[in-house]
Structure 1
């Protein structure tokens, strides 16, 4: 078992996003990403593995290939991360998204 106490979590910042690293084990990572109003994850990107997302606050647009979805607070989605994907905030409020990534091999941070 691996336990990370709240006060021991690390935060990183990428492209204006705040990433709170919750825990990881092998190829599994879980993080909370805070997107300020108007922010995005940057250009569409792809990497090995799978991703699952849960929108905790706000509203986002998630794009992967030809698929585009508007996800509101409480909505969740997942995708094969090897297909280019992109997330952007909608509206004037920040968005907070819980993201879990998995790969057969240990991943470096995706942000």
Structure 2
């Protein structure tokens, strides 16, 4: 499914696999495997592809039916997992429009990214369970259950779980660029 969507988006932009590979920094061979759904790309690979296509990450999973009202059933949510960073994101919103809502699950010692990164958006995170460190522009903000943090996502940022228990949180971003 993700491979077909990437191929469609690449074709819409009249890009070859080689051109997208250069723009994203993802090897052509890997892109071909992903587009054929023969390889599951990592979260970092998907971020690179989305950035090269100038799209929010979760638009790679977007369905083409633009309904005015969307009900997203728990079992039908789009899920992205990064085994190396210990984070899983589940899209709670439909993935179109001006707002993106994600549910995050971060394992102890995990992070949302190896290094802080930025994207053109505004973000608010709410901790549902556990503790979360929000790193923005080199400053850390420690949140506990019920705490929230709002920031300009164009500043380099990432989420960290420095505790011993998993952390669950909700992210709202506008416009979608995750």
TM-score of the pair, normalised by structure 1: 0.87
Q: Which structure features the higher share of helix residues?
A: 2
Match 2:90 to one of 17, 20, 23: 20
Instruction: Give the superposition deviation at 1:60.
Output: 1.4
Residue from 108, 111, 116 that aligns with 1:37: 108
Residue of structure 2 in register with 1:5 after alignment: 73
> How much is the aligned-residue C-alpha RMSD, in angstroms?
1.4
Superposed structure 1 runs of 4+ greater than 3 Å apart:
none
TM normalised by structure 2 equals: 0.56
CA distance in 2, matches of 1:16, 1:62: 16
Deviation at 1:7, TM superposition (A): 2.0
Q: Which has the higher strand share?
A: 1
Alignment correspondent of 1:71: 143
Work out whether residues 86 and 109 of structure 2, in 8 Å CA contact, stay in contact via their aligned partners in 1. no
Unaligned runs of 5+ in 2: 1-68
Residue 25 of structure 1: CA displacement? 3.2
Q: How many residues of Structure 1 are paired with residues of Structure 2 in the alignment?
A: 106
- In structure 1, stretches of 5+ residues that fail to align are none
CA distance in 2, matches of 1:40, 1:4: 26
The CA deviation at 1:68 is 1.9
Pick aligned residue for 2:118 from 38, 46, 69? 46
